[in-house]
Chain A
Amino acid sequence: MSDLVESFYSRVPVLDETPPPALSPEDRQRLLKSYYPDYRPEGKATLRVGPNAGTVVPEEIATLLESRSRLQGSRIIPDHPDREVDVLIIGGGGAGITAALYAAEQGVSVLLATKLRVGDSNTVMAEGGIQSALGEGDSPVEHFRDTFRGGHGENDPTLLSVLVSEGPRMVEWLVSRGILFDRDPQGNLSLRKGGGTSRPRLISAKDYTGLELIRVLKEDVVNSPVEILEFSPAVELLQGPGGACAGAVLWDLDSRKNFFVKARTVILATGGTGRLHLGGFATSNHFGATGDGLCMAYRMGAKLVHIDSFQYHPTGVIFPSEMAGMLITEAVRGAGARMYNLLGRRFVNELETRDVVASAIIRECSEGRGVPTPSGAFGVYLDLASIDRDAGEGTVTKRFPNIVKLMTRHHVDPTKVPILVYPTLHYQNGGIRTDENAHTSIPNLLVAGEASGGLHGTNRLMGNSLLELFVFGRRAGLEGSKEARERPPFSWKEVSLAHVENFEQALAREFEGAERPIAPTLFPDYRRKDS
């Protein structure tokens, strides 16, 4: 143990296992309204321009959406596109790869462009699992009910019924690809419990679920006819006849040149916004999660939904500080891990939905019952030792090897001492409004994965995002290839950035010429300012 860690852990109080008081539905509402960042008035702005004008959103989201293009100056479109394809997929995480595989199977030409490497995404980091109703006494109907309740009844019921009904079929697809989910002794897929659900329904690959998914699917997409461009984020969509989407401008990070792609359909699979650090929160997201798709689609006029709703995962590591933001999967609470405040008391049922648990942690810390860290932050204890006590010595190491490995590297043995946690910005609940076939409000522009909105309502249940990637990634791939085939031919001369001009003019009018920021930012900038 390092000195800092040792001295921190010398102050852990005696942990009192007495269960916390149960919450009534009214208690939950009060807790959320008082402490959950979505419902707090500070740090918010009202959108003034674009299809969602009038919506109150976090300031960082307003900055992203009401921004100018990275393409400044003359905006000349070259005489010929650099590449012409049937389907362009932007984003190389779980949704983008799945869409690419299914589109390519239909025999259309597919280009997948991504900001970093294929697979660099929030998907690869997913620890807990995929929610799919496979248990006896469980059904897609129960999965629907749990998700709808968890999403505060704001979920789009049609999207949700597709998710729960097609889920098992996509799990079959994954198993057939050779993905190794945990099995019980009879060879069934093991089912684990997540927060806010009535049945154990999570299938997982230890705590490496996302890694296992991406390793396999990445190999498949690399071995498929899909053309792949890495280190090539999209910076703008292109507009074609009738306001339909007609391709995108990619930015080659290495050659620092624009790359124009003409496409008959475009599928956005650009993921979330964690790296915008809403409200100054740490994030569990990967380095490229800067909401590029939201910003580009908004300029083109795509409607967004629930874009004021974000998931702050209750248990992000807050000490040691170099690990800040790293997620400790909810599955540990499903397995019996408990949380304690500074006084060593439990303060919320650990299996409430994520938003309720996060609010309770914020309440403890803002009312003086948070545990201070040497760098001045606060958190609460998440104790995994109770898992080993309940389920037998060695359970933590066997089921959560990655947590043990990562924490131990930083001199914290989570089988012996509690992990200090605080909510971390984890997921964008809303996004670009979509229907059951992945359409946006813009013709020939489709969306899948975290960039889309409507499915999860205003709070996502664990394991539903991984499931969404495959269910709607597949649908986007199939629909995108169908639309590409059916779209009448159009000429490169009809392709423009007119929507960008129009949007910037609207910005100039509304903000009376005040300088607006440029987006997408592509990456956060953590460099020391005076270095």
Chain B
Amino acid sequence: MVQAMWYTGHEVIHGIGCLGGVCGACATVYRMKGDFRLRNALACQTLVQDGMSFSMLDSYPIQRAHYDVAALTDPKEELFTFYPESATCRNCNACTEVCPQGIDVRDAVWRANFGDFKAVAELTMSCVMCGLCVSRCIAEMAPHEIALYARRAYGAKELPFPSNLKTRLGEIEAGTFSREMNHLLSLSPAELKKECEVKS
């Protein structure tokens, strides 16, 4: 779709980012000739076809929660402070049907409401934050923001701190590698090249 816009001489600025299907800048709505159904796509990932008419949704207004993930104390309850509307899902499933990434958005919203943030993380890892789900939600919530909150709370508050990282941070703090590192830094460019030449 983006290439088609260029082909017809249009300059596209709002609605382009990575051109690789991950940045979510190019949410687009379209219809096919003779079909009443409204469809959605990422414009950089969709081939134009005869009879297609489309419009790029530059951005969709959302209300984003202001929070500091480190300061959360009871993330599952605080979800309803930041996003009280998440509890008003009416199960219409329009968000899931619209998602260009094929995410079960409706399920993710319910899992978030029930506090199963791990499941939200697994369901929504491929979310590109395009906001198409917001455009269809009859409860007017922003499911992609709710999922982001749940994923972050899960990562920062539920998952144990990784022990290999903890060990290495302790070693660095204790100066375990300083002597070897200083040795490398004391070498001449030629010596250093020789020292690093072979894989150890």
What is the interface of chain A, defined by CB distance below 8 A to chain B?
25, 116-117, 119-120, 124-125, 133-136, 139-142, 144-146, 148-149, 153, 157-158, 161, 165, 168-169, 171-172, 175-181, 183, 186-189, 191, 198, 205-206, 208, 210-212, 215-216, 219-220, 222-223, 231, 253, 284, 286-287, 322, 326-327, 401-402, 405-406, 409, 523, 525-528, 531
With A180-B155, A231-B13 given, is the CB distance from A145 to B200 under 8 Å?
yes
B37 touches A (CB below 8 Å): no
Cβ-based interface call for B115 (8 A): no
- Closest chain B CB from A490 CB (angstroms): 35
Contact status B22-A402, CB under 8 Å:
yes
B144-166 interface mask toward A, CB cutoff 8 Å, 1 = contact, 0 = none? 00001001111111011111110
Q: Is B39 an interface residue (CB 8 A)?
A: no
Residues 118-167 of B contacting A (Cβ, < 8 Å) = 121, 125-129, 148, 151-157, 159-165
Given that A148-B192, A187-B160 are contacting pairs, would A161 and B181 also be in contact in the complex, using a CB cutoff of 8 Å?
yes
Residues in chain B near residue A215, CB distance under 8 A: 127, 129, 148
Whole-angstrom distance between the alpha carbons of A375 and B21 in the complex?
Answer: 23
* B17 at interface by CB-CB < 8 Å: yes
B121–A180 CB distance below 8 A:
yes
Contact across chains for B18 and A287 when beta carbons are under 8 A apart: yes
A125 touches B165 (CB 8 A): no
Residue from B18, B172, B196 in contact with A148 in the complex, judged by beta carbons closer than 8 Å: B196
Q: Contact at B196–A169, with CB atoms within 8 Å?
A: no
- Contact of B17 with A124 in the complex, beta carbons under 8 Å: yes
CB distance from B131 to the nearest CB of A (A): 12
Q: Which listed residue (A124, A165, A198) contacts B22, Cβ 8 A?
A: A124
Q: Which of A149, A191, A216, A401 contacts B199 (CB 8 A)?
A: A149
What 7 pairs between A and B have smallest CB-CB spacing? A178-B152, A531-B9, A178-B156, A153-B193, A178-B155, A120-B17, A188-B164
Residues of A within 8 A of B164 (CB): 134-136, 188-189, 191
Show the binding face of B for A, using Cβ within 8 Å: 3, 6-11, 13-14, 16-23, 25, 45-47, 59, 64, 66-70, 101-102, 121, 125-129, 148, 151-157, 159-165, 168-169, 171-172, 176-177, 180-181, 184-185, 189, 192-193, 195-200
A307 CA / B121 CA spacing, docked (Å): 41
CB-CB < 8 A to A326: which residues of B?
20
- Which of B6, B168, B198 lies in contact with A528, CB distance below 8 A? B6
Across the interface, name the chain A residue whose C-beta is closest to B70: A176
Q: Is the CB of A286 within 8 A of B45?
A: no
A178 to B162 Cα, complex, angstroms: 12
Sampled A-B contacts (29; CB under 8 Å): A116-B17, A120-B17, A120-B23, A124-B17, A124-B23, A139-B171, A139-B177, A141-B181, A144-B196, A145-B195, A149-B196, A161-B181, A161-B184, A169-B169, A172-B165, A175-B155, A177-B156, A179-B155, A181-B162, A186-B163, A189-B162, A210-B22, A223-B67, A253-B13, A286-B17, A286-B18, A405-B102, A523-B13, A527-B6
Give min CB distance, B44 to chain A, whole Å: 9
Contact status A144-B168, CB under 8 Å: no
Tally the A-B contacts, defined by beta carbons under 8 Å.
Answer: 197
Q: Is the CB of A527 within 8 A of B10?
A: yes
Report the Cα distance A368→B127, complex, angstroms: 42
Shortest distance between the CB of A273 and any CB in chain B (Å): 16
- Given A223-B68, A523-B13, A527-B10, verify A176-B156 contact (CB < 8 Å): yes
Instruction: Determine whether the beta carbon of A222 is less than 8 Å from that of B18.
Output: no
Establish whether residues A134 and B64, one from each chain, have CB atoms under 8 Å apart when the complex forms.
Answer: no
A322 CB contacts on chain B under 8 angstroms: 3, 47
Q: Report the Cα distance A431→B172, complex, angstroms.
A: 30
Q: Which of A141, A149, A172, A222 has the most CB of B within 10 A?
A: A141
Chain B residues in 8 Å Cβ range of A176: 70, 156
User: Nearest-CB distance from A62 to chain B (Å)?
Assistant: 26
Contact for B45 among A216, A223, A409, CB less than 8 A = A409
A208 and B185 CA atoms in complex are apart in Å by 35
A208 touches B126 (CB 8 A): yes
Chain A proximity of B36: nearest CB distance (Å): 24
Residues of B within 8 A of A178 (CB): 69, 151-157
| Complex alpha-carbon distance, A183 and B121, angstroms | 13
In whole angstroms, what is the CA distance A441 to B185 when docked?
Answer: 23
Query: Across the interface, do B184 and A134 meet the contact criterion of CB distance under 8 Å?
Result: no
Docked Cα-Cα span, A65 to B126, in Å, equals: 38
Q: How far is the CA of A143 from the CA of B10 in the complex (A)?
A: 47
* 16 more CB-based (< 8 A) A-B contacts, given A136-B164, A172-B169: A124-B22, A148-B196, A149-B198, A158-B185, A169-B172, A171-B165, A176-B156, A180-B125, A189-B165, A219-B64, A286-B20, A322-B47, A405-B102, A406-B20, A527-B9, A527-B10
Q: How far is the CB of A292 from the nearest CB of chain B, in Å?
A: 15
Say how far A116's CB is from chain B's closest CB, in angstroms.
Answer: 6
Q: Contact at A216–B152, with CB atoms within 8 Å?
A: yes
B residues near A169, Cβ cutoff 8 Å:
169, 172
- B45 engages A175 (CB within 8 Å): no
Is A405 touching B163 in the complex (CB atoms < 8 A)? Answer: no
Nearest A residue to B183 via CB reads: A141
Closest to A531 in B: B9
Residue of A whose beta carbon sits closest to that of B10: A527
A125 touches B20 (CB 8 A): yes
**B184 & A168 in contact (Cβ 8 Å cutoff):** no
Contacts of B171 in A (CB 8 A): 139
| B3 cross-chain contacts in A, Cβ below 8 A | 322, 526
- Kindly identify which residue among A183, A287, A528 contacts B16, using a CB–CB cutoff of 8 Å: A287
Find the B residue at minimum CB distance from A141: B180
Contacts of B184 in A (CB 8 A): 141, 144-145, 157, 161
User: A157 vs B192: C-alpha distance in the bound complex, in angstroms?
Assistant: 9
A176 to B160, CA, bound (A): 11
Chain B residues positioned under 8 Å from A223 (CB to CB)? 64, 66-68
- A261 to B162: give the CA distance in the assembly, Å: 43
Say which residue of B70, B101, B160 sits within 8 Å of A405 (CB atoms).
B101
Shortest C-beta distance, A76 to chain B (Å), equals 27
Q: Are A120 and B25 in contact (CB under 8 A)?
A: yes
